[in-house]
Amino acid sequence: MSNVVRTLGGPLKTPRYAFCKLSLKRSSLLFALPKIKAQCFTPMKRIQVRRFSHSRFVQSNELMDNLKKIQSLEREAEDVDVCIVGAGPAGLGAAIRIKQEAAKAGKEIRVIVLEKAAEPGNHSVSGAVIQPTALDELIPDWKNEPPRHCTPVSSDTMKFLIPGMQFPIPVPPVISNKGNYIMSLAELTKWLATKAEELDVELYPSFAASEVLYNEDGSVRGVATNDFGVDSKGLQKDNFERGMAFHAPITLFAEGARGSLSKSVIQRFDLQKNSEPQTYGLGIKEVWRVPDENFRNGEVAHTLGWPLRNDTYGGGFMYQFGDNYVSVGLVVGLDYPNPYVSPAAEFQRMKQNPFFAKVLKGGTCLEYAARSLNEGGYQSIPKLVFPGGALIGCSAGFVNVAKIKGTHTAMKSGMVAADAIVEAFNTGDVNKPLTIDAYEENLKNSFVFKELYSVRNMRPSFHAFPFLGNYGGMVYSALDSYLFKGKVPWTFSHKKGDAAVTASASSYKPINYPKPDNVLSFDTPTSVARSGTMHAENQPCHLFDSRPNDRQDAYRMYKGVENRFCPAGVYEYVDDETLPTGKRFVINSQNCVHCKTCDIKDPLQGINWKTPQGGDGPKQTLT
């Protein structure tokens, strides 16, 4: 690849990150990003004039043929020791630990981390209240120079909401945040990326891994990044660059919840065979800056009840940290049956409750983000190891739903995988694909599995007593938290995946969500603009619908559920009298905030989320 510039610290180095290999054309795109971001974040007027541009998704044979031609072109391949897909807490935790342990053993292990965001942290979404267990172990002196805005938790409250009112409820011991810290996951990720780079981890932001590569014996050979500069017809643009292949004896999949490559290896190696279906929640959040008189630094608050109905699992959160920042969000379990529910509209409505309103009033909403999170817990953990690869972090699903925390478990899983890799490099033949069984065995004996086992019944208890709805789950969870502590002989099960739970619209009435007031609640275009998301318009759609012909039936059955589950207004049914239902399914892929909900909740399971061009997507800095 002639136009690749190999430089560390050379002229292509961005202010914060060194891109070891980067094409000149791609680097110029990266330098343009801060300008784009500034436009999205500063004046309100500009945010509100931003419009969706409706691009109809055309999955033509012509496109497929052109893409096949491109895929047949040769691409540069790089041999590395460890390839990690995803620079989140899991991927960076693994990378740092490999370098630390390799240094102790006097070994040189080349570790690369591929990240689809333009900068590490740009696609990170979390609460984030961090339990520092894994961080303390990985970087024992981290508190000497902590991530920006890191704030010790000062108090914990829990409220039950009804319209216009709130009632205090006790904070169950399992949720207690004593000794924890409120941060922005985007900032923590950025901080971890710096630590990784100090240890000579090669970090490649804007490199979206789009394909798993296999050896002839079926083991994983590595991954390839997607091609850059391909137009929506699958033709090469002026800035075309073929993706790169990275070959390694071991590839760690650290893509977070519902990772696109993780999904494909789970299917290929049948990794979910002996576990229950994974279930998910969708978390939607905003970061506000509020006036001094409203701000209580270090306060953690959780809510149950309103605005969610009794058949919808979820709860709100409000974390106050740093420089008068407030992270406010709602997590909605994606196993809700009512297709008229819109998690994003529920979130906008939630902020009208005085409990949230009194903190946010007079403040400014700075950022918006949405991301799915694993809720299946212990029962849904897939097999983690396969020849040449392993799943770490939320790619596998280690969120402790009772605590709404997965950062410490994600990071720890990466560290345990790292130890197994270094051990293999010390003792084994690393010229062939590695199967790091020690990772799975050791993780089962770590706090990660113990913690998840102890809370295994809490989330599925919300379905265990269907006649009681959410109240059954709340009572069971309270008993489990105070009395049983998970030491019971039974394990509740997650019977179905989230898509299969969606019921017919004929069983429900449409929900009339209130119009945004532009003070506390906002419309979707405004929210999307605040995520800073950008996708090059003229590229193949990264939301691949394998069942376009069934969308007419889907509309009859679910009355446009796709429009409501997406928190970014990507899916629409627009009027079209030529079609039997009078509605045409449209995908506005450029608005996608990479939450992965469509891949999970589409009742047809036809939508396949694929990585768009590297560097595209949200530009979050505080979420």
- Single-letter amino acid, residue 472: G
Residue selected from 91, 377, 497, 618 as contacting ligand FAD according to rule CB under 6 A: 91
Amino acid identity for residue 483 in this structure:
L
Min dist CB 318 to ligand SF4, Å, is 23
User: Which residue is catalytic, options 279, 407, 481, 621?
Assistant: 407
Taking the complex as a whole, the smallest distance from the CB of residue 370 to ligand FAD amounts, in Å, to 8
Rounded CA separation 77/79 (Å): 7
Tokens for 68, please give them. Answer: 């096949």
Q: Which of 80, 138, 345, 399 binds ligand FAD (CB under 6 A)?
A: 399
> To 10 degrees, what angle do helices 89-104 and 185-198 make?
20
Contact flags string 563-582 toward ligand SF4, x per CB under 6 A: ---xxx-x------------
User: Quick one: tokens of 63?
Assistant: 């496109």
Size of the site for ligand SF4 (CB under 6 A): 13
Query: Contact, 54 vs 569, CB < 8 A?
Result: no
Is the previous residue joined to 168 through a cis bond, with omega within 30 degrees of 0? no
Cβ(575)–Cβ(582) below 8 Å = yes
Q: In the stretch 363-382, what mask flags binding to ligand FAD with x, by CB under 6 A?
A: --------x-x---------
| Cβ-based neighbour number of residue 290 at 10 Å | 20
Q: Helices (DSSP H) in 481-611: which residue ranges?
A: 498-501, 524-531, 551-558, 561-565, 597-601
Binds ligand FAD (CB under 6 A): choice among 22, 27, 40, 89: 89
Binding map of ligand SF4 across residues 513-552, x = CB under 6 A, - = no contact: ------------------------------x---------
Nearest distance, CB of residue 370 and ligand SF4, angstroms: 6
CA 239, 64, 55, 569 torsion-angle sign: negative
405 makes contact with ligand FAD (CB under 6 A): yes
Does 328 bind ligand FAD (CB under 6 A)? Our answer is: no
The residue (of 18 and 430) whose beta carbon lies closer to ligand FAD is 18
Residue with smaller CB distance to ligand FAD, 89 or 229:
89
User: Does 153 engage in binding with ligand SF4 (CB under 6 A)?
Assistant: no
CA distance 147 to 138: 14
Please pick, from the candidates 187, 241, 255, 346, the single residue that binds ligand FAD as defined by CB under 6 A: 255
592 flagged as catalytic? yes
Q: Is 360 an interacting residue with respect to ligand SF4 (CB under 6 A)?
A: no
**155 membership: H or E segment, kind and range:** strand 155-162
From the list ligand FAD, ligand SF4, none, partner contacted by residue 349 (C-beta under 5 to 8 A by kind) = none
> Is position 317 an interface residue for ligand SF4 (rule: CB under 6 A)?
no
* Residue 412 interacts with ligand FAD (CB under 6 A): yes or no: no
With binding defined as CB under 6 A, does residue 114 bind ligand FAD? yes
How much helix, strand and coil, in percent to the nearest 5, is found in the chain? Answer: 35, 20, 45
Length of the chain: 623
Q: By three-state DSSP, how is residue 76 classified? A: coil
By the rule CB under 6 A, 594 interacts with ligand SF4:
yes
| Site for ligand SF4 contains 125 (CB under 6 A) | no
Shortest Å distance, C-beta 568 to ligand SF4: 4
* CA atoms lying within 13 Å on the CB side of residue 244: 21
Does residue 128 touch ligand FAD according to CB under 6 A?
yes
Tokens representing 364?
């400014």
Please tell me the distance from the alpha carbon of residue 431 to that of residue 444, in angstroms, as a whole number: 28
Of ligand FAD, ligand SF4, none, which one does residue 596 interact with (CB within 5 to 8 Å by kind)? ligand SF4
Give the number of C-alpha atoms closer than 13 A to the C-alpha of residue 219, restricted to the C-beta side: 18
As given in the structure block, the two tokens for residue 350 are 């939630």
Choice among 251, 566, 589, 597 that is catalytic: 566
In sequence order, the β-bridge partners of residue 316 are 303, 330
Q: Taking each helix axis from N to C terminus, what angle separates 524-531 and 24-41, rounded to the nearest 10 degrees?
A: 130
Would you name the residues annotated as active-site residues? Answer: 126, 371, 407, 566, 592, 595, 598
> Interface with ligand FAD by CB under 6 A: which residues?
85-91, 114-117, 123-130, 185, 208-209, 254-256, 259-261, 283, 285, 329, 331, 371, 373, 393-394, 399, 404-408, 410, 611
> Interface with ligand SF4 by CB under 6 A: which residues?
543, 566-568, 570, 592-598, 609
